[in-house]
Chain A
Amino acid sequence: MNRLDEMFTTGPETLVALSRAIVAGPVSHYSKEVEEVSQGSAPIPVRWIISGQLEHPETLKGDVPEGLLRFSREEQSPFLPAPEPVPTWEAAYAQWQREDKAVVFLGKKPGEILRVLPSGTGERNLISLVRLIVSIHKTARNEDEETAAWQRHLLSGAPSTAEGRRIALRSLLTRHWSDVASTLREVMSRKDAELRQYAYGIVAYGIVRDKWRDTAGPAEFLCTQLANETDAEVAGGYRQYIDLVLRFASDENFREQRMALRDQLQSCRDR
C-alpha cells in the first residue's frame, strides 16, 4: 500500500473490522526481555519483547475467549529502521509504557492474535477509541448511517482523540461531495492545524482516487481553503496536496478530461 492510501484509508477502524474479537484490560506478569543491545561503547537496548497476561479482560468486540490470555510483542528502538511497514496510526502505540493496559485483536482462526497494542491515557487511550468504533459499527445499519454517525461525532464537540477525528474524516470519502462539503468547511475553521491539514489532504486524496464524480466542488474547496489559510507553514502543506492533484490532472491519458481541474488548481496554487 502506498503512503497516500495508507494515510487516508487505514486506521484503527481497519484493524477493528479485521478482528473477530477484541479484548482489553490491565496486564499482569508483565516482563520486558532485552534481546539485543546497540553496538558502540555505550550500548542501549535495541530489540526487546514485552509479554504479559490479560487480567479481567473487557470484551470490546465479539465473544470472550476462554481461559487466560497471554501475549507477547516485539518492539525495537525507533532509531533502527523498521523491518516491515508499520501503519502510521500505530505510531502512538509503538512503545509500551509500564502502566499501559493491553488491547488484544483476535483473528478469525481460533487463538489467532492479529495484534497486541498498548492503551494509555489521553491520545493513547486506545480502549476508548476501539469502544467508539465498535459502538458506531454496531448501531449503524448501513454505510450511510455509519458515516452520518461519524459526522455527528466530528461536529458534536464531544471529547475525542485526534485519531477519532481522523476516522470521522476518512468516513466522508464514501459520501457525495454535497453531503460532506459543509462538514469539511466547519473543520477547516477550527484552530487545530493538524486536523485542518488532514481534512485538506483527504479532499485532495478524494479527487485523485476518483471518489467524487465532479471535481469542481472539491477543487474549489482546495483553492478557497488555501487562500483563507493564515499559517504559512500549514499553507505549505496544502500546496503539497495541490501538487499531488496537479500531477493527477496532468496524466497523459486523461489530459483533456482533467484540463479544467488542472487550470483551476494551477491558478490558485500560484496566486
Chain B
Amino acid sequence: MSDGTKPTPTASRSGGSPACNPAIQPCPLAVTVSITLSAAVACPGHPLSITAAGTPSGGTYSWTVSGGSAELVDGSGAPASSGPSVNLRSFKSDDATGKIPEQIARVGVTYTHPNGTATDWKPVKTHQIEFAVTNKAITSGFTEARETATAVQLWSFHGAEMSTDPQVEIKLDASCPRKVDCAANHQVGWLQTMLTDARQARYSHTLVHVVVATPIRDVWNATVFPFYSTVTAFTGDRDKATVHHEDSPSFPASPGAPWTDPRAGIGASPPPVPPPATNLQLRSMNFSDTFTAWLVVQNIEWGAHHLADSFAYQGHFDWSMQLNVTVDTTKTVGSRVSPKKNRITAPAEIQSGKGGGTPNLAAPIFNTSAVLKVDPAAGI
C-alpha cells in the first residue's frame, strides 16, 4: 500500500544541483517513512492509534485523511495533523436503516527532512455494526379527566398514555478486534422533541395558559444528556436491551385545575363574583401536544465530540394527544367535565430509521422552560 518510501533527494526535487555521485562524496541518507496501525480494524467512534516511522530522524510529519467521517485527533481528541502518532476515529450511521456501515478511510503521511521527503498511506477499515429491533408495538392509551371535590386534572389514570418496549440487539462485525469494549461504547435510549404544546384553562373571566417556545427537548427522569429518560449500554456482542419509552402528559399537575378562579380576590381588578353562578367558575380546558420520539443507539466516544452526529436511528414515531373539555360546575362532581377521555394518536408500530424530523438537542427542556400567563378575559 505504500507508494512513497523511496528517497527523494533535495537536490533532485529542487532541480538546481547535480545528482549525487557516491564515487565523489557520500550521498545523503535516503528519506523513508512507513505507517503502522495499532490494530487491523478500527471500531466505530473509537480512536485507532497510527504511527509513522521516518528516517533519517529529525524530520517532521504531516498527516492527511480522506473518506467518510474519518478524522485525525490527538490523545485528548483535538484535531491533529502532525507528530509521529495520531489517532483515527470515524463514525457515521445510516439514517434510513440505523446501521453503522463499514467505512474505509485513506490515511497518508508526508515525512519532510532536510535530505528530502517521503510519503506513505494506508487504507483503514472501520467495521460495521448492525442492530436488530423487535417488539415494535406502541400502546396508545387515553388522556382522561379526573374530577375531585376541588379540582379536575387531565392525565392518564390507567397507566401511561403512550408506551412502547422495543428490544434492540447489537450485532458487531466479525472483524471487530475488541468486542466487549466496542459494544460498551454504544448506549441505547430515546430522544423526544415536543413539537407543539397548548395548555389553557378558561375561567369565566380569566385565561390561564402555559407558554413555551417549541420545538423543545423533552425529558422525564433523565440521567444522561440529551436522552428522554434512562439509557442502557450494551455489554457485548449480541447483547439485547429492552428500551422502555413512555409519556403521560398532564394538565395541570396534581391536584389539578381548581373549579374556582385562582385569580379570585387577587389584585386591583379581580374577576367578578357570582351572580351569575358561572362567575369565577372553570368553563373549559384545552390540552394538546405533538411529539416525535426517536429510538437511538449513541456512540458514546463519538458523542463526546460530535453530539448531533453520534446517533444511529433505530426507529421513530410521531404521536399526539388532545383533550379539550367543557366544564359545567353546576353539575355534581364526576359529571362536570365533557368529554371524559380521548385516545392518543400514534402508529401501531415504531417506524424505521430517523424519519423526516430532527431531534432538538438543545439544553432547555419543556418542564423547566414553560411559563405561566394569566390574563383577564371576556366573560363567558
Contact = CB atoms under 8 A, between A and B. Distances in A.
Contacts of B211: 39
A42 B269 CA distance: 8
Interface stretch (A9-17, A53-61, A184-192, A239-247): A239-247
Interface in A1-36: 1-4, 7
B158 A79 contact: no
Contacts of A46: 372
A94 B256 CA distance: 10
Contacts of B163: 2-3
A77 interface: yes
- Residue from B159, B220, B370, B376 having most chain A Cβ neighbours under 10 A: B159
Contacts of B368: 83
B210 interface: yes
Nearest to A243: B139
Contacts of A52: none
A38 B373 contact: yes
Interface stretch (A63-71, A84-92, A133-141, A146-154): A84-92
21 contacts: A3-B163, A4-B160, A38-B372, A38-B374, A39-B211, A40-B372, A40-B375, A42-B266, A44-B266, A77-B372, A78-B153, A78-B253, A78-B254, A78-B256, A78-B257, A79-B208, A79-B257, A86-B253, A92-B255, A95-B255, A253-B134
A162 to B, nearest CB: 11
A80 B375 contact: no
B372 A80 contact: yes
Interface in B198-224: 199, 201, 206, 208, 210-211, 220-221
Interface residues of B, number: 51
B370 to A, nearest CB: 5
B265 to A, nearest CB: 10
A41 interface: yes
Contacts of B157: 197, 237
Given A2-B244, A2-B246, A81-B366, A40 B167 contact: no
Contacts of B251: 79
